[in-house]
A and B are shown apart, each in its own frame.
Chain A
Amino acid sequence: MPAVFTVDPRSGVPLYLQIIDQIKRSVALGVLAAGEQLPTVKQLALDLTINPNTVARAYRELERDEVIETAVGRGSFVRDDGTTAFPRAAASDVAAKALLLAVREAKSVGLTSPQVRTLFEAALARWFPEET
């Protein structure tokens, strides 16, 4: 288990969502590989000093989102369905969230949609210079 998770209980974001985000991010980045075993609910709860039911809820939702699978008596594992489709899905999840937040902020400080588009194009040009 190379991935190190941290949570911020003081944040307004529910802890189970923080765990889901971090595991999805780790899978998207390949820090957690397909087939890799996750810590048990009890172990992760003790490591993070948070409620075990919270960890269990995060694992249940990750199963529903088909990011991990749990084998009774063996533990929870990152899903390995033989394709690379699903880390990519996790990656676009993470990215979509960040973009939504950025656009909401831009709108709330009073920018118009063409202005936001200009900023977005500038960001694309900066991070994908080879395509411009």
Chain B
Amino acid sequence: MSISIEHLTKRYGTFTAIEDVSIDIPSGSVFGLLGPNGAGKTTTFKCMLGLARPTSGRTRFDGAVLAPAAFQNIAYVAERSVLYEWLRAGDHVEMQRRAFSRFDAGRAKQLMDLFALDPRKRVGSLSKGLRTALSVVLAFSIDPEIMILDEPTSGLDPLNARAVLKLIIEAAARGKTILFSSHQIGQVERAADHIAILQHGKVVLTGPVDDLKAGSKIVEAIFESEAVALGGLGVDHRVSRVEQTGRIVRLTVSADSDSIAQQLSAAGAQSVRVVDLNLEDIFVNAVDPAGVTADVVERV
């Protein structure tokens, strides 16, 4: 099932949590939502699911707005655990069985064992990681078409976090559509094929991970002196960031890195090299584009 988030805005009084958020999630994709704390990831999830009423905008699931029956097909792992402290882990599994016609008891048992969860334990006695694991077990035991996972690895040790990633990958291989958020960019880099980066409630970057990586490069040039000549590249639309340290200038470019490198060479740079960007670099560049130093801009 594809998901289309259309112009979602949510205001709490005078505070705007998200503004005009539009994201397209193709059917069968694993979509990673990244952003600093407070960027609006959880608000976006809540508005999508009708757990918070958006001020404006809507979300369509396969073209249709969310109806009660659709919830049979959607699993949601909330960032803040919605488990009942006084109930046992097994009681939650039982509630899931009653609530979802797609519930698979064998699968639930298998998943409880995977995370070494004891069904007799009360939620109140579980660590943060095991609560996350229990939420993941509940979500994956109903094998839904859509999974919305808000920090599904939070508090988990690396082994269990890897197990959650494998569950996501296995579900994606069977055509499920998964939207997840994580603070660990490395996990998003592995599991996601598409990402969106939120900052201050707005989408600052979105696209297929491979295309974002292939497109973004740093072109680093070393000049003879600090009086560098960028030959107009400082205001080029393909250049998103300019940093100068002494004789070294680093340009973050979104396309044509080779021809920009040649341009710098022609402009008198002694040495030019092109460096690949990983997702963390792309993330930092998207949420903190204030790298342009005034003195470089003046010399352009």
Contact = CB atoms under 8 A, between A and B. Distances in A.
B173 A52 contact: yes
Q: Is the interface of A mostly helix, strand, loop or mixed?
A: helix
Contact of B30 (A12, A13, A15, A53): A53
A9 B166 CA distance: 15
B193 interface: yes
A14 B209 contact: yes
B172 interface: yes
Interface string B255-295: 00000000000000011111111101100000000000000
B271 A42 contact: no
B173 A42 contact: yes
Interface in B139-193: 162, 165-166, 169-170, 172-173, 186, 189-193
A5 B173 CA distance: 19
Interface in A1-49: 9-17, 41-42, 45-46, 49
B109 interface: no
How extensive is the interface on chain A, given as a class? 20 to 34
A108 B273 contact: yes
A54 interface: yes
A16 B210 CA distance: 8
A82 interface: no
A108 B30 contact: no
Contacts of B189: 9-10
11 contacts: A9-B189, A11-B276, A12-B213, A14-B210, A45-B169, A50-B190, A51-B209, A53-B193, A54-B193, A108-B271, A110-B271
